[in-house]
A and B are shown apart, each in its own frame.
Chain A
Amino acid sequence: EAEVAQSPRYKITEKSQAVAFWCDPISGHATLYWYRQILGQGPELLVQFQDESVVDDSQLPKDRFSAERLKGVDSTLKIQPAELGDSAMYLCASSLVWTGPTGELFFGEGSRLTVL
């Protein structure tokens, strides 16, 4: 069964260091999302790509976060410098260009970030 791949699964870093997360969506899915889930809260959208273009990055803290999807396939989310409040699960999801009435997004297993 096709899956959204993410790495690393776990990352521990110190404040002010740089971190990067990688995501490979399901083959053929043109839309890719990065969500952040803080413990006890629901996932919040950080950035949405359609192929290599950013569709929505209104909630991305652009002073320290960046995201790219250069060839319209896999994607990287970077944080530099990391802050204590960035500790969270970073979830990648993908969907077909037009997912129809269900609107289903397929999520990866996530990357758990702990900032010390």
Chain B
Amino acid sequence: DQQVKQNSPSLSVQEGRISILNCDYTNSMFDYFLWYKKYPAEGPTFLISISSIKDKNEDGRFTVFLNKSAKHLSLHIVPSQPGDSAVYFCAAQFGGNFGNEKLTFGTGTRLTIIP
């Protein structure tokens, strides 16, 4: 049962344009959502997160939008740069009790920025 889904395995975007990566989830009990970026042969690195009580969080070129009613979130990168080429994972986390810190990941979207 895939609780976090990224339906686009790959995405190509021209340098300087906006990149939009999408993620859907099925469990309405998730409290936090995170985006991780992964380069080949490296571990994932944290990019940005959002709490379920918010609908937007912005950090520089990166903005995450959350639509709870649709169980959908998206990551916007503006403007896209060549160094943004990587695999992006959406992840979800339960809140509340201790022991709920583990992340449930989507399958990832490979973003390629075309110079």
User: Of residues 68 to 116 in A, which have CB atoms within 8 Å of B's CB atoms?
Assistant: 91, 93, 95, 97-99, 101-110, 112
Contact between B41 and A40 (Cβ–Cβ < 8 Å)? Answer: no
Contact between A41 and B44 (Cβ–Cβ < 8 Å)? Answer: no
- Cβ of B89: which chain A residues have Cβ within 8 Å of it? 42-43
Complex-state Cα separation, A89 to B99, whole angstroms: 24
- Cβ of B105: which chain A residues have Cβ within 8 Å of it? 42-44
Contact between A98 and B108 (Cβ–Cβ < 8 Å)? Answer: no
Q: What mask results when residues 19 to 60 of chain A are scored 1 for a CB within 8 Å of chain B, else 0?
A: 000000000000101000000111111001010000110000
In the complex, how many angstroms separate the beta carbon of B86 from the nearest chain A beta carbon? 14
Binds A, one of B13-21, B45-53, B65-73, B75-83: B45-53
Contact between B99 and A56 (Cβ–Cβ < 8 Å)? Answer: yes
Total A-B contacts with CB atoms under 8 angstroms apart: 73
In the complex, how many angstroms separate the beta carbon of A94 from the nearest chain B beta carbon? 10
Complex-state Cα separation, A107 to B107, whole angstroms: 17
Contact between A103 and B106 (Cβ–Cβ < 8 Å)? Answer: no
- Cβ of A109: which chain B residues have Cβ within 8 Å of it? 41-43
- Cβ of B42: which chain A residues have Cβ within 8 Å of it? 109-110
In the complex, how many angstroms separate the beta carbon of A38 from the nearest chain B beta carbon? 10
Contact of A104 among B34, B51, B99, B104 (CB under 8 A): B34
- Cβ of B106: which chain A residues have Cβ within 8 Å of it? 42
Closest to B34 in A: A103
- Cβ of A112: which chain B residues have Cβ within 8 Å of it? 41
Complex-state Cα separation, A40 to B42, whole angstroms: 15
Q: Does B4 sit within 8 A of A, measured CB to CB?
A: yes
Q: Does A4 sit within 8 A of B, measured CB to CB?
A: yes
Contact between A42 and B34 (Cβ–Cβ < 8 Å)? Answer: no
Binding site for A on B (CB under 8 A): 4, 6, 9, 32, 34, 36, 41-46, 49, 51, 89, 91, 93, 95, 98-99, 101-108
10 further interface pairs, Cβ-Cβ under 8 Å (given A43-B89, A45-B102): A41-B108, A42-B89, A42-B108, A43-B103, A45-B103, A48-B99, A101-B49, A103-B32, A104-B49, A107-B44
